[in-house]
Copies of this chain bind each other. A is one copy, B any other.
Amino acid sequence: MDTVTGKNKNKKLSHAEISQNRANLEGLSELKRMPVVVLLNSIRSAYNVGSVFRTSDGAMIEKLYLCGYTTSPENKDVLKTALGSDKSIPWEYVKEAEGVISSYKDRGYKIVALELTDTSVPYYKISSDDFPFLLIIGNEITGVSQNLLDMCDFSIEIPQFGIKQSLNVAVAYGIALFEFRKNWDLKN
Measured CB to CB, the residues of A under 8 A from B are: 1-4, 8-13, 15, 18-19, 22-25, 28, 31-32, 34, 47, 51, 54-60, 81, 83-85, 87-89, 110, 113, 115-121, 124-127, 129-130, 143-144, 146, 149-150, 152-155, 158-165, 167-168, 170-175, 178-179, 181-182, 185
Q: Which of B34, B59, B124 contacts A182 (CB 8 A)?
A: B124
How many copies of this chain does the complex contain? 2
A165 contacts B19, C-beta separation under 8 Å = yes
Name 10 interchain pairs, CB-CB below 8 A, sorted by A.
Answer: A1-B153, A10-B113, A11-B118, A23-B163, A34-B161, A57-B163, A60-B161, A83-B164, A89-B162, A168-B174
A164 contacts B117, C-beta separation under 8 Å = no
B181 contacts A161, C-beta separation under 8 Å = yes
Q: In the complex where A32-B161, A161-B31, A163-B85 touch, is A3 in contact with B57 (Cβ < 8 A)?
A: no
Q: Which of B51, B118, B182 contacts A171 (CB 8 A)?
A: B51
A57 contacts B12, C-beta separation under 8 Å = no
- Neighbouring B residues of A59 by C-beta, 8 Å: 160-162
A163 contacts B84, C-beta separation under 8 Å = yes
By beta carbon, the residue of chain B nearest A160 is B58
Query: How many angstroms from the CA of A118 to the CA of B10 in the assembled complex?
Result: 6
B81 contacts A163, C-beta separation under 8 Å = no
- Neighbouring B residues of A19 by C-beta, 8 Å: 165
A178 contacts B181, C-beta separation under 8 Å = no
Query: How many angstroms from the CA of A159 to the CA of B179 in the assembled complex?
Result: 11
